[in-house]
Amino acid sequence: MANHRRKNTTLSALSAKQWVRIAATIATVGLLVSGMAVSRGFYKQSGSSTQSTVTSYSATDTNSLEVSRSYDRKALKNLKAGTAMVTVKINGQSRVVLGTNFTNVKSVLDAGNITLDPHDTVSPSLTSKVSESTTITITRASADLTTSTSSIAYNVVRKKTSSLPKGTEKVQTEGKKGVMVTTSLVTKSGSKVVESNVFTSYVKTAAVNKVILVGTGTSSSSSSSSSSSTTTSDIGTTTPVGDMQTWAHKYMLANGYTEADFTATVYIINHESGWRVNASNPSGAYGLPQALPGSKMASAGSDWATNYQTQLKWFWGYCAQRYGSVQGAYTFWVANSYY
């Protein structure tokens, strides 16, 4: 009968050759375990080495990878001794400029190829001395369109009427200031306005003149003509307001014009430009008379863009040529709201 029991090998039965193999296997496993422990310790040490905190401010500290300013210094290890680092803030954004011969703020900006625009502000000043603790602040100028309103003065116009007894007066219309809207291109450096140029300026609401009726009639004539408020041809006598109107009034009377011509002038200019020499409409119309284009007024003088006298002289000539007179232009304007 066959024997089916498993044959068990004991340690004492092992040959010398088998004992050598077992010893080699145990040694190999031991080396592997030791290697893993060493490797784990090595990576742990490597990972923690970058966590060191360095508070040095010198750009030439070759042992530093970082500084307390959180500025990465890995690329700075090969810089020569004496290299300084200065922070420059431009509209709140910081950058660092490196150099070895900084004497003042200007030398730092030159080293960093930082160009200043005409309206930029710098603190401290360009001639101020610098050190590594210096922070240079530059505020770049910016331009924005701003809109503002201003008032237009009204005039007092006196009109004769036979409907009132001679020597009496009556307010026909109360005066009301007009509204001028001006849009300007304003350049600011921080909160300081350094430049402002008018972009557009136009009359939003024309001033309403105060009209005073001056009686010229008798008791009988005033009662019979009560339905007529003023003499048909009388557009009134206007009191000048401001230097420009005062000059225009004197000039016109000295050169053959009448009070009615001056009244017509004031009415048109009030509505066209509100007596703003630099009034500029998006259409291209310009100046007191809103000439289109404004360069037309060069025929009256090369200073047409800034001189109100030149502009008015052109205006009177234009009215005479196109409408026969200033009052002719006034009549057309009242009927059409332009001339």
Q: What is the CATH number of the domain that holds 101?
A: 3.10.20.30
Domain co-membership, 100 together with 207: no
Q: Are residues 135 and 157 in the same domain?
A: no
Single residue among 140, 156, 187 that ends a domain in this structure = 140
Instruction: Indicate the residue among 140, 155, 171 that finishes a domain.
Output: 140
**C-alpha of 153 from chain center:** 29
> Domains in the chain: how many in total?
2
Range of the domain at 297: 143-336
Regarding whether 252 and 238 lie in a shared domain, the answer is: yes
Is residue 297 located within the same domain as residue 210?
Answer: yes
Q: How many Å apart are CA 246 and CA 258, to the nearest integer?
A: 14
Nearest residue to 238 (alpha-carbon basis) of 157, 146, 140, 337: 157
If asked whether residues 136 and 147 sit together in one domain, one would say: no
Instruction: Using the 3D structure, point to which of 114, 140, 166 is the last residue of a domain.
Output: 140
For residues 122 and 185, membership in a common domain is answered with no
Cα separation values, 295 from 132, 203, 246, 273, 305, Å: 57, 20, 25, 16, 8
pTM for the complete prediction?
0.59
CA 168 to CA 38: how far, in whole Å?
A: 118
pLDDT tens digits in sequence order for the chain, 339 residues long: 444 444 444 545 555 555 556 555 565 555 444 554 444 443 344 444 444 333 333 333 434 333 334 444 454 556 667 788 899 999 888 888 988 889 999 999 998 889 988 888 899 999 999 998 999 999 888 888 889 999 999 999 999 999 999 989 999 999 999 999 999 888 887 778 888 888 889 999 999 999 999 998 886 554 444 444 444 457 999 999 999 999 999 999 999 999 999 999 999 999 999 999 999 988 889 999 999 999 999 999 999 999 999 999 999 999 999 999 999 999 999 999 999
Between CA 189 and CA 142 the distance in angstroms is: 7
Residue 100 lies in a domain: yes
Statement to judge: residues 229 and 81 lie in one domain: no
CATH number at residue 183: 2.20.230.10
